A and B are shown apart, each in its own frame.
Chain A
Amino acid sequence: MFCKTVNKKTLMAAMLTTCLTAGASFHVAAMDSVHFLIPGGAGGGWDGTARGTGEALSKAGLVDSVSYENMSGGGGGKAIAHLIETADQKHDTLMVNSTPIVIRSLSKVFPQSFRDLTPVAATVGDFGAFVVKKDSKYNSFKDVVAEFKQDPRSIKIGGGSARGSMDHLVAAMAFKASGGDARQVRYVAYDAGGKAMAGLLSGETSILSTGFSEALALAEAGEVRILVMTGDERNEAAPDVPTLKELGYDATFVNWRGFFAAPGISDAQKAEFVTTLQKMYDTEAWETVRARNGWVEIFKPDDQFIAFLEQQEKEVGDLMRELGFLK
């Protein structure tokens, strides 16, 4: 109800503004404009996050106009460099990103890191999960660990990204927490999640390391079972899937997605972004988008986000050093 009134008010306000003072800025409840910079092509995960968030913001009347710009290249590095270069013209820009920004800046895919931008907030997240074929001999992740300890080479773990990137690191993290040697993990890299899944079903890999929401969808299709996930506690979407922690392995991992603004924007501007995003969670428009995409809310604004990024950078960095990806 409340949302609807806001919606109408903003609409009227917007109409009035256009009539009276074309182009002048007018702050009542809504931001004038947000420009989303998407570091990858149309149809990818980043694209979906930015467009979904933008849709919720504009439908809820929190932002008057949204625009989206795709800029791929350099594993996301192109867009980061662009945002930094043209920072003084980009006050209304939000760049979407996720865990790979931490991993890729550690492995020096691009020279910048999140410190060169203004972290605004992490908005949604996804956990890691391990999946097996429905007729697999493993019934629990413990079975896998037991076999891994006997003969690490016998377990082939597939994933939809290169060695040293997220799916591999999550697998290494899990086996390390179970007391195994992370360097012994036999990771089989596929160039896309769908192909990694086909590899699992063809029987060439025995386990698949993937995102929890993707795993849920696959499990629903009935071809695979989820053994374990990396959240802090069980998720209501699949209450029978245990967490690594429950099994006694002290490892958690969340792949966040969030937004960054250009470096050097004022604190007031940053605060406006943060409050706008925060307001979004209570709107119906957001709930529609969130449910459609199966996103898990993890709102970490501003300082919390920075602290979280620093911690993730340290954890992932330590692991990558142990695996030898960093010197």
Chain B
Amino acid sequence: MIMTKDHIGGMVFLCLSLLYGYYAGDIQMLPGDEFEPFTARTVPQTLAILGGLLSLALLLTAERTESKRLSLSNYDFALVAKLLVLIVVFGLALEWTGFMLATMFFLMGGFWLLGERRIKTLLIVSVPFAVGIWFILAKLLDIYLAPGQLYMQFFGG
């Protein structure tokens, strides 16, 4: 038995369709809906069935050839994970330190992770960029960017 990409994909979507169909039963019905031909559940339930059938079709038609196996070597998952964590942190930093600082931090972190280690370059690119974007948005276009909550706590609201 060879598990190919198509088999994994089929299995995943089969599970997803089942789960989706299960939760579709939780959708609140409106009063009198039981007599209606079309409710908030109609489309989700149809989709669950359709998804299930298609996943089965994929499972049954998938060829079992060695070349279609999923191979995860040669991929730099660690670096990607770090980048994604950086994005999450950026989202949190937006709330706490405000737009400008968060942007600087994010860009420097990103450059650093991707191999740019010269501190000067990091600063020269990220600081003017962050300040520039902030200036265009906040000053030129008058879009309100919330100051960070840390800042608000130190200096009052």
Chain A residues with a Cβ under 8 A of chain B:
67-70, 86, 88-92, 163-164, 183, 323-325
Contacts and interface: CB of A to CB of B under 8 A. Distances in A.
A90 B30 contact: no
B157 A91 contact: yes
Interface size class of B (residues with CB under 8 A): 10 to 19
A253 to B, nearest CB: 22
Interface stretch (B19-27, B64-72, B146-154): B146-154
Interface string B125-157: 000000000000000000010100100110011
Contacts of B144: 67-70
B115 interface: no
Given A164-B30, A183-B32, A325-B30, A69 B146 contact: yes
B37 interface: no
Interface in B6-35: 30-32
Given A68-B144, A69-B144, A69-B146, A89 B31 contact: no
Nearest to B146: A69
Contact of A92 (B32, B149, B157): B157
Contacts of A325: 30-31
A89 B152 contact: yes
A89 B30 contact: no
Nearest to B144: A69
Contacts of A92: 157
Per DSSP, are chain B's interface residues mostly helix, strand or loop, or mixed?
loop
A86 B149 contact: yes
Given A69-B144, A69-B146, A89 B156 contact: yes
A12 B32 CA distance: 65
Given A69-B146, A91-B157, 18 more contacts: A67-B144, A70-B144, A86-B149, A86-B152, A89-B149, A89-B152, A89-B153, A89-B156, A90-B157, A92-B157, A163-B30, A183-B31, A183-B32, A323-B31, A324-B30, A324-B32, A325-B30, A325-B31
A324 B153 contact: no
Nearest to B153: A89
Contacts of A164: 30
A92 B32 CA distance: 46
Nearest to A164: B30
A323 B31 CA distance: 8
Nearest to B151: A89
Contacts of A88: 157
A68 B141 CA distance: 12
Contacts of B31: 183, 323-325
A163 to B, nearest CB: 7
Nearest to B33: A324
19 contacts: A68-B144, A69-B144, A69-B146, A86-B149, A86-B152, A88-B157, A89-B149, A89-B152, A89-B156, A90-B157, A91-B157, A163-B30, A183-B31, A183-B32, A323-B31, A324-B30, A324-B31, A325-B30, A325-B31
Contacts of B30: 163-164, 324-325
Contacts of B153: 89
A188 B66 CA distance: 55
Instruction: Give the interface centre of B146, B149, B152, B156 by most chain A CB atoms within 10 Å.
Output: B146
Nearest to A324: B31
Contacts of A324: 30-32
A116 B32 CA distance: 33
Contacts of B149: 86, 89
Nearest to B31: A324
A91 B157 CA distance: 7
Nearest to A68: B144
- By Cβ-Cβ distance, the 7 closest A-B pairs, closest first, are A324-B31, A89-B157, A69-B144, A89-B152, A67-B144, A68-B144, A91-B157
